[in-house]
A = this chain, B = another copy of it.
Amino acid sequence: MTEAAAHEFRFAVNVLPKPGILDPQGRAVEGSLGHLGVTGVSGVRVGRRVELVVAAADASTARAIVDRLAHELFSNPLIEQYELEALNAPVVEAAR
């Protein structure tokens, strides 16, 4: 009986509108800043963040799985770009 020694790797995928693609949520945020009395904020872009845990034999295998999911499931490659982020922290978050 064989048993693969799988480790757990935690990643985040940050998905944002590609430069030049209309970002209506970003514009809406910028339109709200005046009501809050906030000045000096620009370049607001609103996207998604997906965090996940992958059990795999090694980090590069895990990253390849996350890259495939990011491309096929988490983003629309026509209008969005994504970046992968390896997370070292444990699964339970400390921040509020």
Residues of A near any B CB (own CB < 8 A):
6, 10, 12, 14-16, 19, 26, 29, 32-33, 36, 38, 40-56, 65, 68-69, 72-74, 77, 81-83, 91-93, 95-96
| Residues of chain B within 8 A of A92, CB atoms compared | 19
Q: How far is the CA of A29 from the CA of B26 in the complex (A)?
A: 25
A50 touches B40 (CB 8 A): no
| Residues of chain B within 8 A of A96, CB atoms compared | 77, 81-82
Given the interface pairs A36-B73, A73-B36, the reply to whether A52 lies near B41 with Cβ below 8 Å is yes
Given the interface pairs A41-B65, A53-B43, the reply to whether A32 lies near B73 with Cβ below 8 Å is yes
A-B contact pairs, 10 of them (CB 8 A): A10-B43, A29-B73, A38-B65, A40-B55, A42-B52, A42-B55, A43-B52, A46-B48, A48-B49, A49-B49
